[in-house]
Every structure is written in C-alpha cells, then in structure tokens.
Amino acid sequence: MNMKRLTLICFLITGLSFGQGQEKKEAPWNVMYPEFMAQEAAEYFEEFNMLWSDESPIEAKEGRLVAIAVSAAIRCEYCIAAQIEFAKKAGANDEEIKAAIQIAAEIQRFSTLLYGNEFDVETFNKLIGRANKE
C-alpha cells in the first residue's frame, strides 16, 4: 500500500476527535506513526477534524457523505465503515448514503468511458460549457 493511500485512509477514518493530544497509549491513531512524528500527527488530526465542526463551510452531514463517496471510490473498507457511522451520527439516512455511493459509482463509470475512449478534451469542455483555459 503506498504512503499517500495509507495517509488518506488514516485521515478518512478519524472523523470526530479521538483525543490525539493525550498520551500515546490513549491516542489510538498515534501507533501508526513513527514516534518522532506522533505529536505532529496528533496536532494535524485536531486541525483535520475541524472539517466536521461548526467552523467548516460545509455541514458535517454533507462532508460525511462526500467522505463516503471517496471511501467507496478508493475501496477502503475501514473508511466506509467509519464514514457511514459518522454520517449517521451527523443525521444522514440510508437513502442519502446510497445516493452518495451511487454518485461515486457514476463518476467513476463515466470517467472510465471518457478515458478509455480517449474522448477529446476540447470537445468535452465545449459540451459542458467550460471556457477554454489559456
């Protein structure tokens, strides 16, 4: 498993604050880091968890639904389990969760069609009404 994916998995499964500022034995995620990085990781997790706070520009439920879609797309069983749990705690229902997963599936499906058929980017941009980037 590459480091970027492992890092993303760790970020997605955190969710609500898990006491990262506490001693190592009380901060369960710190065991995944070399000791010299554990404190910095704990501090980052506190900042990362602000994405689910009242300070975030995105409501917690919507953020969790996005996280579910990403978790499904990267096929992370840990992430899916955690994000579904957190989404439900944030007020998401089963239909919203299914819709988020379906959106991820449709984006992936259509992306595969475009990429596999080497669909022309300029034609694509015209179809979606995107101005040419210079």
Q: What is the CATH number of the domain that holds 119?
A: 1.20.1290.10
Inside any domain, residue 37 = yes
Inside any domain, residue 133 = no
Residue-wise burial string across 29-63, b where 16 or more C-beta atoms lie within 10 A, e elsewhere: bbeebeeeebeebbeebeebbebbeeeeeeebbeb
Total number of domains in the chain: 1
If one compares 126 and 11, the residue with the highest pLDDT of the two is 126
Inside any domain, residue 134 = no
Domain that holds residue 66: 3-128
Q: How confident is the model at residue 86 (pLDDT cuts 50, 70, 90)?
A: very high
Q: How confident is the model at residue 51 (pLDDT cuts 50, 70, 90)?
A: very high
Given this model, what pLDDT does residue 26 score?
52
Inside any domain, residue 73 = yes
Q: What is the pTM of this model?
A: 0.73
Inside any domain, residue 117 = yes
